[in-house]
Amino acid sequence: MRRIVGVIVLLVFLVISILSTASLVLASIGLPVHIGPTGPFSGIKPTGAQVFAQSFFDQSFIIAPASWAAVCGMWIWRGKMRSKWNSSGFTQDAFDLLVKMRGGPTRLKLLQALNAPKDRSQLAHELNLDWKAIDRHVQILQKYNFIREDSSHGQIVLYTITPEGDKLLHLIEELDSQSGN
C-alpha cells in the first residue's frame, strides 16, 4: 500500500511539473493561459475549479521549480535506497520480491515469524493466512535462499530463516528507520 501511495504522489508531482512548465513556456512566447469563459461568454461567472486552475497557471513560475525539485528529490531518494540494497549484496530480483511485488509485505511477515523453526501450519495460524498462500510464499523464499528446511518429522517440515534472510530483515529495518516509518 505504501508503494502505491508513493507512486501516486510521484505521478501527481510529475503532472503538476509538466503543466506548470507548459504554462511557463506558453507565457514566455506570449500566449498566456486563460481558463474559463471568454469572448461571448465573458459574462458567465467562472466555477471554483476554473478559478483554482487559473491561479495555478498564474503562479506557475513558483510551482514549476518547486514541483520539479520534489520529483528529482523522490528519484534521488529511490536511487539511494536501491544503491543501499545493491551494495548489501542483494539482487534487483530480491528487491522486487520483497518491496515492489504484490505479496512482499506478507513475505516479510513470514520471515519475521521464523525467529524459531515453524511448520507451514504454524505459520498459517500465526499470520492468519490460508496454508496454500503460506505454501507459495515458502517456495518463493526458499528459491531465493531466505529460508530453509530446518528439520522434518514425518510429513511435517520445519522451516527457519537463513543468515541471508536475517541479513535481509536487518537491511529492511534499517531502510524503514531511515525513511522515518
pLDDT tens digits, one per residue of 22-31: 888 888 887 7
Asked whether the beta carbons of 143 and 137 are under 8 A apart, the reply is: no
Give me the CATH number covering residue 127. Answer: 1.10.10.10
The total domain count for the chain is 2
**DSSP secondary structure code for residue 147 in this structure:** E
Same domain, 74 and 97: no
Same domain, 96 and 172: yes
Express each pLDDT in 54-68 by its tens digit.
777 788 888 888 888
Regarding whether 37 and 110 lie in a shared domain, the answer is no
Average pLDDT on 103-126 reads 88
Which amino acid type is present at position 90?
F
Percent of the chain topping pLDDT 90: 9
Q: Give pLDDT, residue 161.
A: 92
Return the pLDDT at 38: 62
Q: Is 45 helix (H, G, I), strand (E, B) or coil?
A: coil
CA distance 120 to 135: 7
Output the pTM of the full model. Answer: 0.55
Do 96 and 83 belong together in one domain? no
Cβ neighbours for 66, distance < 8 A, ≥ 6 positions apart? none
Nearest Cα residue to 55 out of 63, 66, 45, 43: 63
Q: Is the pLDDT of residue 145 over 70?
A: yes
Give the pLDDT confidence score for residue 2 in this predicted structure: 57
- Let me know: does 46 contact 36? Beta carbons within 8 Å: yes
170: confidence class by pLDDT, cuts 50, 70, 90: confident
pLDDT of residue 1: 54
On average, the pLDDT of the chain sits at 80
Does 112 have pLDDT greater than 80? yes
Residues 61 and 107 in one domain: no
CA distances from 39 to 34, 42, 51, 56, 148 (A): 12, 5, 17, 22, 73
Per the structure block, which three cell numbers stand in for 127?
Answer: 499470520
pLDDT of the residue at 125 = 92
Q: Taking residues 162-177, report their average pLDDT.
A: 83
Residues 12, 44: one domain?
yes
Say if residue 70 is in the same domain as residue 110: no
**Same-domain pairing of 124 and 151:** yes
Q: Which residues of 117-151 are buried (b: 16+ CB within 10 A; e: fewer)?
A: ebbbebbbeebebeeeebeebbebbeebebbeeee
The answer to whether residue 151 scores a pLDDT higher than 70 is: yes
Structural domain harbouring 102: 92-178
Q: Which of 87, 117, 133 is the last residue of a domain?
A: 87
Domain identity same for 50 and 66: yes
Mean pLDDT of 89-106: 75
Q: Does residue 95 register a pLDDT over 60?
A: yes
Query: CA 89 to CA 164: how far, in whole Å?
Result: 10
Judge if 8 and 76 occupy the same domain.
Answer: yes
C-alpha cell at 148: 530453509
In the block, which residue shows the cell 541479513? 167
Q: Which of 34, 65, 87 is the last residue of a domain?
A: 87
Would you call 160 helix, strand, or coil by DSSP?
Answer: strand
Residues 80 and 151 in one domain: no
Among candidate residues 60, 87, 114, the one where a domain is terminated: 87
Could you give the maximum distance between any two Cα atoms of the chain, in Å?
Answer: 86
**Domain identity same for 96 and 77:** no
